[in-house]
Structure 1
């Protein structure tokens, strides 16, 4: 059963980053740990964030991997203890934001991340976590307002903790930070944002507010993503895509579907999540035909397609237009791993909310079709 709840303080506009110092003070944080990655530092965004944080001087962790890991979490926890941190700031994409959520969780609750897995019921015991601020630097995952934390454990398993108490206390969305994002990353993150709107619209769970937000996410992303990719300096396109990503995160409580169920295990191979979604989404849309007719009609109207148009053809053509890979083979995925990926996808919690029930064999057929 979905829980209808929207809980976060969001600063949204060009220049919003300038309010960082004030937000740190408002939360009563004295020594924040700033979690980011070396790419953000190289792009000059880290320097801007550190300037905006003044008079506070955050402790820096800039080694966030492309997909968050328990090893990185343990490094952050050691830094937190050694430097006396009392709050966390995430600066980056979904990986940095998920890593920061895990830091906020374990510094307030103790134990190991595996203790809070949603599959084992551990997520139900998550209470208030350490103060956190999320600053997305790409328009994609919507993790800044998400309640889930996804991470690869030391033993290779994937852990997912989910609780509304993990949503960041303050979210700062500044489209200025996305202006320097290269076209391919703009495309890959943007496809992820679009997919959130599409898959939540098709989800069988009833959540009318989330459904309305999801459709508006699709309207914005379908129109503005190609423009943002073609002209990265277009400020309106960047504003609209950051809003689409935020809305995509807001509607996640209606749940996703098979594209994300497959992307989760594939992501453990070190592949970019949004790029995977671009490959998988057209195949899932074709697979779901006849199982979410009302939702598909709403999606066509939101995108501006003819009522008889095939959504999977539109999605495939959009991915090609954006210059993204169209097959798993183009990403270097070995066909030998597909049966195991199908097994994991069939066991993923997001498979339960795909409009068409899928077996392990169904997933294998989808993955082979995308190969």
Structure 2
């Protein structure tokens, strides 16, 4: 199957076998492959290493942290330059792909990484990057087709980098790479995909095609019970296929924006001591924001309920809480180590997050505080 949206995702079981051909198509001879210690420890980096033809000279950066940092970007960039690389591959979850995007950016852009963040007007500063290929091994972020990258900076802020030039030149979406992903990661990444679909639909930006894609993603995740099935049986190929497609659809949908859930999860994800999983944060926060937005989104809740296969009057927040319980997601942020004394710093971060530009209801400072407190 060949999808055409922003880039060229090669979406099918076994698509990873096309890696050498895709490198040729992108005219990459010396790729830097950004991945993480977890994939290296279970031999998945060896798999891609063996699939890449000997005509290519590959360099591996295998230290991507759970939430990619500015330091990790610069370490990988140093490796890129030292080995005369001419392109980047992000192989792993959203963290590895986001890191790879930042490396591809800084490989041919001058100055500090911070200058290219959305907060610093970076959208207009980013031009064509070095060629980059995304190979997701989880079904959640959809970073393989999105314009964005999330990086935790040296000053502690988790910032968004966004530009059409950050969309990977190609994406290899092979659902079989997610088979065997542990239930806890399947659940967290799957809820990330669901949150993308829901927040994109709730964005006030008028983009019916993007909303339709988001609706289909919700149907796959909830109505068809693909997330529950994938969590219960990691070998379920149909469920894995549906979840990877829903993940890709979620990122396609949020071309129209996200909202307060992501503003809050970005703030929490910046904490380098807790090292919280982004998708799991979204899952825990989503019910509270759904209740907060309820009277500010027209008939969109009834449309989402239909996509879930539920009655139009269904309480969406309650449904998400039930789903979280079924797949083993923590019931609150307190269980994840978040405490009330963190709220002032979290609010200060959330208030400045660019996701607020497309939230259907912008919280006041007091409302941000109440939302965080409710989630704890």
Q: Deviations over 1:85-133 (max 9, x none)?
A: 0000000011100110001101121221111121222221211110110
> 1:254 — aligned with what?
256
Residue 37 of structure 1 contacts residue 63 of structure 1 at CA under 8 Å; is this kept in 2? yes
The alpha-carbon deviation at position 26 of structure 1 amounts to 1.1
> 1:359 — aligned with what?
364
> 1:290 — aligned with what?
295
What value does the CA root-mean-square deviation take over the aligned residues?
A: 1.1
Residue 141 of structure 1 contacts residue 189 of structure 1 at CA under 8 Å; is this kept in 2? yes
Q: Deviations over 1:136-180 (max 9, x none)?
A: 000000011111111111222333221001100010001111001
The alpha-carbon deviation at position 339 of structure 1 amounts to 2.0
Q: Pick the aligned partner of 2:341 from 333, 336, 344.
A: 336
Which whole-Å CA distance do the structure 1 matches of 2:349 and 2:112 have between them? Answer: 23
Q: Deviations over 1:216-239 (max 9, x none)?
A: 111111121011101111000000
Q: State the secondary structure of the residue aligned to 1:151.
A: strand
Which whole-Å CA distance do the structure 1 matches of 2:125 and 2:269 have between them? Answer: 27
> 1:160 — aligned with what?
160
> 1:133 — aligned with what?
133
Which whole-Å CA distance do the structure 1 matches of 2:157 and 2:269 have between them? Answer: 12
Residue 157 of structure 2 contacts residue 349 of structure 2 at CA under 8 Å; is this kept in 1? no
Q: Report the TM-score, using the length of structure 2 for normalisation.
A: 0.95
> 1:235 — aligned with what?
237
The alpha-carbon deviation at position 356 of structure 1 amounts to 1.6
> 1:188 — aligned with what?
188
Q: Give aligned pairs, total.
A: 367
Residue 68 of structure 1 contacts residue 98 of structure 1 at CA under 8 Å; is this kept in 2? yes
Residue 260 of structure 2 contacts residue 362 of structure 2 at CA under 8 Å; is this kept in 1? no
Residue 148 of structure 1 contacts residue 163 of structure 1 at CA under 8 Å; is this kept in 2? yes
Stretches of structure 1 that go unaligned for 5 or more consecutive residues are none
How do residues 95-174 of structure 1 correspond to structure 2 at under 5 angstroms? 95-174=95-174
Which whole-Å CA distance do the structure 2 matches of 1:195 and 1:122 have between them? Answer: 25
Q: State the secondary structure of the residue aligned to 1:289.
A: helix
> 2:9 — aligned with what?
10
Q: Report the TM-score, using the length of structure 1 for normalisation.
A: 0.97
